[in-house]
Amino acid sequence: MAESKYRTILEAKSGELEALKDKAIKDTWQPIYHIHPQYGLMNDPNGLIQLNGEYHVFYQWYPYGAMHGMKHWAHVKSTDLVTWERLPVALTPTEEYESHGAYSGGAIEKDGQGLLFYTGNVKYEDGSRSANQCIAMLNRDGSVEKYTHNPAVQGVPDGYTGHVRDPKVWKENDTYYMLLGAQRENETGALIVYESSDALQWSFKGEVKTSLPDFGYMWECPDYFKLDGKDVFVFSPQGIKADGHNFYNIYNVIYAVGTFDVESLTFEMEYYREIDKGFDFYAPQTFQDESGRRLLFAWIGNPDVDYPSDEYGWAHALTLPRELSLEGNELVQKPVEELHKLRDQAVHFRGTLKNEEVIIDEATNNAYEINMTFREIGAKQFGLELFNSKEEELRLVFDTEKQEVRLDRSSFHHQYATEYGVVRSEKWTASNEVDVRVFVDKSIVEIYINGGKIVFTSRVFPKKDSKSAVNVFAEGAVDYRIDYYGMS
Ligand code: FRU
Residue 2 vs residue 410, higher pLDDT: 410
Give the chain's mean pLDDT: 96
Q: Is residue 110 part of a domain?
A: yes
Ligand 1 atom nearest residue 166's Cα: 10
Ligand 1 atom nearest residue 236's Cα: 1
Tell me the C-alpha to C-alpha distance, in Å, between residue 393 and each of 9, 178, 295, 389, 396: 39, 44, 31, 7, 10
**pLDDT exceeds 60 at position 465:** yes
331 and 349 in one domain? no
299 and 274 in one domain? yes
Average pLDDT over residues 111-116: 96
pLDDT computed for residue 354 by the predictor? 86
23 and 158 in one domain? yes
Contact assessment for residue 320 and residue 437, using Cβ atoms and an 8 Å cutoff = no
CATH of the domain at 279: 2.115.10.20
* 309, 335, 361 - which closes a domain: 335
Please give the Cα distance from 70 to 68 (Å, whole number). Answer: 7
361 and 323 in one domain? no
pLDDT for 322-368, tens place per residue?
999 999 999 999 999 999 999 999 999 999 998 778 888 887 889 99
Ligand 1 atom nearest residue 68's Cα: 12
395 and 286 in one domain? no
**pLDDT exceeds 60 at position 151:** yes
Q: Is residue 1 part of a domain?
A: no
Q: 104 alpha carbon to ligand 1 midpoint, in Å? A: 6
347 and 253 in one domain? no
pLDDT computed for residue 367 by the predictor? 95
pLDDT for 389-443, tens place per residue?
989 999 999 999 999 999 999 999 999 999 999 999 999 998 889 999 999 999 9
**What is the radius of gyration, based on Cα positions, of the chain?**
22
Q: Is residue 296 part of a domain?
A: yes
Pocket probe for ligand 1: among 73, 220, 252, 318, the residue whose CB has the most ligand atoms within 8 Å is 220
Number of domains in the chain: 2
Q: Is residue 199 part of a domain?
A: yes
* Cis before 151 (ω within 30): yes
pLDDT computed for residue 316 by the predictor? 98
With pLDDT > 90 as the criterion, what percentage of the chain qualifies?
93
**pLDDT exceeds 80 at position 67:** yes
208 and 81 in one domain? yes
What is the distance, to the nearest Å, from the Cα of residue 476 to the centroid of all Cα atoms in its chain? 36
pLDDT computed for residue 271 by the predictor? 96
Residue 47 CB partners (closer than 8 Å, separation 6+): 56, 57, 58, 73, 90, 105, 106, 107, 114, 116, 117, 118, 138
Catalytic residue selected from 44, 166, 223, 276 = 44
Q: Is residue 129 part of a domain?
A: yes
Q: Residues near ligand 1 with C-beta < 6 Å? A: 43-44, 60, 71, 103-104, 119, 165-166, 220-221, 282-283, 303
| Catalytic-residue membership of 44 | yes
Q: 397 alpha carbon to ligand 1 midpoint, in Å? A: 33
pLDDT computed for residue 313 by the predictor? 98
Q: Is residue 461 part of a domain?
A: yes
**pLDDT exceeds 90 at position 211:** no
331 and 352 in one domain? no
The ipTM estimated for the assembled molecules is 0.99
- With bands split at pLDDT 50, 70 and 90, how would you rate the model's confidence at 1? very low
Q: Is residue 2 part of a domain?
A: no
Average pLDDT over residues 242-251: 96
Average pLDDT over residues 467-481: 93
64 and 98 in one domain? yes
pLDDT for 114-141, tens place per residue?
999 999 999 999 999 999 999 999 998 9
Please give the Cα distance from 123 to 217 (Å, whole number). Answer: 19
Q: Which of 267, 263, 261, 206 has the alpha carbon at shortest distance from 235?
A: 267
pLDDT computed for residue 40 by the predictor? 98
288 and 404 in one domain? no
468 and 437 in one domain? yes
Contact assessment for residue 179 and residue 168, using Cβ atoms and an 8 Å cutoff = yes
pLDDT computed for residue 357 by the predictor? 80
Residue 372 half-sphere exposure toward CB, CA atoms < 13 A: 27
Q: Which of 449, 405, 446 has the alpha carbon at shortest distance from 423?
A: 405
366 and 280 in one domain? no
Q: Do the strands 189-196 and 175-184 form a parallel or antiparallel pair, or are they unpaired?
A: antiparallel
- With bands split at pLDDT 50, 70 and 90, how would you rate the model's confidence at 2? low
Q: Which amino acid belongs to residue 457?
A: T
Pocket probe for ligand 1: among 6, 103, 164, the residue whose CB has the most ligand atoms within 8 Å is 103
Contact assessment for residue 46 and residue 286, using Cβ atoms and an 8 Å cutoff = no
Sheet holding 54-62, edge to edge: 85-91, 72-78, 54-62, 40-51, 314-315
With pLDDT > 70 as the criterion, what percentage of the chain qualifies?
99
Q: Which of 285, 264, 161 has the alpha carbon at shortest distance from 221?
A: 285
pLDDT computed for residue 390 by the predictor? 87
Range of the domain at 374: 343-487
Average pLDDT over residues 289-305: 98
Q: Is residue 239 part of a domain?
A: yes
* 298, 317, 335 - which closes a domain: 335
CATH of the domain at 467: 2.60.120.560
* 295, 314, 335 - which closes a domain: 335
